[in-house]
Amino acid sequence: MEVIADIFLVAGALGAGFYCFILARRLSRFTDLENGVGGAVAVLSAQVDDLTKTLGAAQQSAGESNKSLGALTDRAEDVARRLELLVASMHDLPQNGAPPQTDAKDPVFLRHPRN
């Protein structure tokens, strides 16, 4: 009976050793930096670094564009104010091309019609 128990014990130990050997090989392939998950993690880490750099460059470009757009908006508002003043100053010009009715003492500035 002891011999049978020893045989089972040795067989179990050999089976456990073989199982550990297979698991060790699978684990070494799993963590391989070229083909396994380790390689995938390394590739993803490099992609994250590239995306971080790209995001930083995009944020910087957006900031510069924002400043440029602000300057152009300020300039457009200034031009709009000038145009409003010009339109307001043309309000007193006659519509039909006749000279305005003023006193003879006052100087009169007329714009000549274009031909």
State the pLDDT at residue 40.
79
How long a stretch of residues is the chain? 115
Spans of all domains in the chain: 1-30, 38-88
Q: Are 76 and 68 in contact (CB under 8 A)?
A: no
Query: Which pLDDT belongs to residue 108?
Result: 67
Answer yes or no: pTM beyond 0.85.
no
46-74 pLDDT tens trace: 999 999 999 999 999 999 999 999 999 99
pLDDT in tens, 5-53: 999 999 999 999 999 999 999 888 777 767 777 777 888 899 999 999 9
